[in-house]
């Protein structure tokens, strides 16, 4: 029997220790189930992990760094699993969640305080500042409805469209959901810098502001930014993973590394367990929670309906992939004017909006952007516990095609690309220089895919987020309720499920489904 296992029989087996799998597993452990979590990697957390990627004592968030949407999830809002009160999870919420630095050294910051953002925008355009206020008021009004839809199983498409069609407000929301960010920005804003800054909001979803269906993202983002802020986990993103594992273990569960699940076994139309890489079968009496990408579902789940498998295999991956650089720094970063960065996320932008749009256009044709789309976060500025005294870390990201037009492999050229990113940053920052960089680590889209099978082709959302792959149709209509047709007791988690990529804690909705099928009263469980 594999090391760490004393039995082959569990109530619940979770495939993968990503935060969504852990969240679902933790609720079931609290429900009194004997839970086993199996992780392929030597470390836990998938996209929610903090590791010493460069030098000892420098802890880097390899993927997600700020926890935004999960702040609105009852999991944290009501501390349902006591992650904060008992298992050590702590956040700080900096006053400025996001800012942009333009290539001429000017800056534009957004604050949780609407009046401060309004004043910052007014320096560029008083009319745009007034528009911003109107839009953020609307975002605040829509937030409760939007948040409620993010943390529960999605409503069927027909029903949700019919519901929106019943009121003026609903019809406006539906219209905004179909629009591109660009169309929305052109309706409300005039100034190029304001437009570029807000357009990067859509860009953080790996898509161009010209992409239809991204308009609503601006409202979601503004609503969360002001109401909840951008959470910076003390000790790094992996603090969430650690608190979830502590909760599972405290309730008798087991979480094991280096256990690659190769198959989900089924019998008589229900999931019965899993088989690991060494051929070991393990039984799950109540069911299996699985972070299986739709492209892999057909080969991993015994007896899966052929149509379900082929629809899943045909899901679209984002055209743009992510490349990251993690650097250990001798001293914190400073802008060209000598100021600290001051925001959780910082975008480095051209002064002209069209340049930004054209960068995304290049990617559409599989080419590298002429103007890098660089964002960065130096969260040691808000949480010095991650670095030796006086030092700093930075995570930098840019968007690139997964398949290079010149045919060269990312393994071969990622070092050159990282150097290009660092050179570009030198135009915006005083000390992003080799004198200040003690060491760095680069993850290409191919590396991203290697660290978690969710990030197929470097897509940090698992599958793309066009409207036909959202809500109850994410990743496909058949798989949109976290369950699998004709295979009972198999429950899906992952960024490719509703509500999509990001640290949402969406595994809570999966656990609700699981509990419903088991006849466990979810609300009672938490009281
Ligand atoms: C570079 C980057 C930056 C990001 N930044 C942010 C951010 O700042 N904020 C934010 O909200 N989101 C961010 N994201 C997105 C976020 O990290 C992911 O959407 C989220 O982590 C997905 O969580 P998950 O639990 O659904 O899946 P994952 O985190 O992908 O976890 C799945 C886990 O299952 C394991 N697994 C899969 N198959 C098997 C198997 N067969 N056997 C055993 N184990 C298996 C994998 O190894 C992995 O550990 C970022 C992503 C990337 C890549």
pLDDT reported for residue 527: 77
* pLDDT exceeds cutoff 70 at 58: yes
Verify whether ligand 1 is closer than 6 Å to residue 40 (CB atom): yes
- Residue 323 is predicted with a pLDDT of 97
- The pLDDT of 13-34, averaged and rounded, is 98
Ligand 1 atom showing the smallest separation from residue 497 Cα: 26
Is 0.95 topped by the overall pTM?
Answer: yes
Q: Are 69 and 504 in contact (CB under 8 A)?
A: yes
Residue with tokens 């219209």, as numbered in its chain = 175
Supply the pLDDT for residue 110.
97
Is the beta carbon of 490 within 6 A of some atom in ligand 1?
Answer: no
Instruction: Specify the ligand 1 atom closest to the Cα of 68.
Output: 11
- Mean pLDDT in residue range 55-84: 98
SS3 per residue for 304-346: CCHHHHHHHHCCCCCCEEEEEEEEEECCCCEECCCCECCCCEE
pLDDT one-digit tens code per residue, 458-501: 999 999 999 999 999 999 999 999 999 999 999 999 999 999 99
Instruction: Inform me whether the pLDDT recorded for 192 exceeds 80.
Output: yes
Cβ of 448 less than 6 Å from ligand 1: yes
Per-residue pLDDT tens digits for 293-321: 999 999 999 999 999 999 999 999 998 99
Confidence of residue 203 (pLDDT cuts 50, 70, 90): confident
260 Cα nearest atom in ligand 1:
42
pLDDT tier at 206 (50, 70, 90 boundaries)? confident
Tokens of 166: 């019943």
User: What is the mean pLDDT of the segment spanning 183-210?
Assistant: 92
Beta carbons of 164 and 174 less than 8 angstroms apart? yes
Q: Does residue 63's CB lie within 6 angstroms of at least one atom of ligand 1?
A: yes
pLDDT at 526: 81
Among left, alpha and beta (phi > 0; psi -120 to 50; other), residue 135 is alpha
Residue of minimum CA distance from atom 25 in ligand 1 = 18
Phi, psi of 351 (to 5 degrees): -75, -20
Chain center to CA of 312: 21
- Residues 328-338: tens digit of each pLDDT: 999 999 999 99
Tell me, in angstroms, the distance from the centre of ligand 1 to residue 454's CA: 6
98-128: b or e for each residue (b if 16 or more CB lie within 10 Å)?
A: bbbbbbeeebbbbbbebeebbebbeebbeeb
Exposed, middle or buried by CB within 10 Å (0-12, 13-18, 19+), for 221? Answer: buried
Q: Would you state the pLDDT for residue 204?
A: 81
**Averaged over 154-179, what is the pLDDT?**
95
Q: Quickly state the pLDDT bin for 524 (edges 50, 70, 90).
A: confident
What backbone torsions phi and psi does residue 8 show, to the nearest 5 degrees?
-105, 0
Q: Is the shortest distance between the CB of 375 and ligand 1 below 6 Å?
A: no
pLDDT digits (tens, 9 = 90+) for 337-369: 999 999 999 999 999 999 999 999 999 899 999
* Alpha carbons 326 and 60: distance in angstroms, whole number: 7
Work out the pLDDT band at 164, boundaries 50, 70, 90.
very high
Q: Is 360 in the pocket of ligand 1 (CB under 6 A)?
A: no
- CB of 502 within 6 A of ligand 1: the answer is yes
Segment 404-434, tens digit of pLDDT = 999 999 999 999 999 999 999 999 999 999 9
**Does the structure show a pLDDT above 70 at 370?**
yes
* Ligand 1 contact via 497 beta carbon (within 6 Å): no
* 238-294 tens-digit pLDDT: 999 999 999 999 999 999 999 999 999 999 999 999 999 999 999 999 999 999 999
> What is the pLDDT confidence band of residue 1, given thresholds at 50, 70 and 90?
low
Question: What does the mean pLDDT of the chain come to?
Answer: 96
CA torsion angle 80 85 88 89 (round to 10): 50
DSSP assignment of 144-207 = HHHHHHHSSPPPPHHHHHHHHTTSHHHHHHHHHHHS-HHHHHHHH---HHHHHHHHHHHHTTTS
Question: What pLDDT score was predicted for residue 179?
Answer: 96
């Amino acid at each position: 029997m594999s090391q760490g296992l004393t039995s082959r029989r569990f109530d619940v087996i979770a495939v993968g220790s990503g935060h969504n799998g852990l969240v679902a597993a933790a609720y079931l452990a609290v429900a009194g189930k004997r839970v086993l979590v199996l992780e392929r990697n030597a470390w836990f957390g998938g996209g929610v992990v903090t590791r010493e990627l460069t030098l000892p004592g420098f802890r880097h968030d390899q993927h997600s760094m700020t926890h935004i949407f999960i702040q609105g999830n009852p999991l944290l809002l009501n501390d349902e699993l006591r992650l904060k009160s008992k298992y050590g999870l702590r956040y700080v919420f900096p006053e400025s969640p996001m800012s942009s630095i333009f290539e001429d050294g000017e800056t534009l910051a957004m604050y949780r305080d609407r009046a401060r953002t309004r004043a910052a925008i007014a320096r560029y355009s008083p009319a745009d500042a007034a528009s911003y206020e109107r839009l953020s008021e609307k975002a605040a009004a829509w937030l409760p409805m939007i948040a409620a839809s993010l943390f529960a199983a999605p409503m069927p498409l027909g029903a949700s469209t019919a519901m929106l069609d019943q009121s003026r407000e609903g019809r406006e929301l539906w219209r905004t959901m179909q629009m591109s960010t660009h169309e929305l920005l052109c309706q409300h804003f005039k100034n190029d810098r304001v437009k570029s800054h807000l357009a990067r909001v859509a860009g953080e979803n790996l898509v161009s502001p010209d992409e239809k269906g991204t308009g609503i993202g601006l409202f979601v983002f503004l609503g969360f930014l002001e109401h909840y802020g951008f959470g910076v986990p003390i000790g790094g993103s992996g603090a969430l993973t650690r608190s979830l594992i502590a909760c599972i273990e405290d309730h008798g569960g087991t979480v094991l590394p280096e256990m690659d699940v190769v198959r989900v076994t089924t019998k008589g139309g229900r999931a019965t367990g899993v088989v690991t890489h060494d051929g070991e079968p393990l039984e799950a009496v109540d069911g299996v929670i699985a972070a299986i990408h739709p492209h892999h579902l057909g080969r991993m789940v015994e007896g899966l309906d052929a149509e379900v498998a082929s629809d899943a295999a045909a899901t679209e991956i984002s055209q743009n992939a992510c490349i990251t650089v993690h650097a250990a720094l001798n001293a914190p970063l400073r802008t060209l004017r000598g100021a600290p960065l001051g925001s959780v996320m910082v975008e480095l932008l051209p002064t002209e909006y069209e340049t930004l749009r054209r960068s995304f256009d290049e990617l559409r044709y599989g080419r590298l952007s002429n103007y890098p789309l660089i964002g960065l976060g130096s969260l040691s500025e808000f949480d010095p516990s991650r670095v030796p005294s006086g030092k700093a870390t930075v995570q930098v990201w840019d968007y690139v095609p997964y398949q290079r037009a010149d045919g060269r492999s990312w393994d071969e050229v990622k070092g050159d690309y990282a150097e290009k990113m660092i050179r570009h940053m030198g135009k915006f920052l005083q000390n992003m220089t080799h004198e200040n960089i003690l060491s760095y680590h680069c993850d290409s889209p191919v590396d991203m895919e290697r660290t978690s099978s969710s990030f197929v082709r470097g897509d940090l959302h698992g599958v793309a987020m066009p409207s036909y792959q959202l809500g109850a149709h994410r990743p496909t209509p058949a798989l949109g309720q976290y369950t699998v047709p004709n295979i009972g007791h198999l429950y899906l988690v992952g960024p490719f499920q509703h509500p999509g990529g990001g640290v949402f804690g969406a595994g809570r909705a999966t656990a609700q489904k699981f509990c419903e099928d088991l006849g466990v009263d979810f609300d009672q469980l938490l009281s």
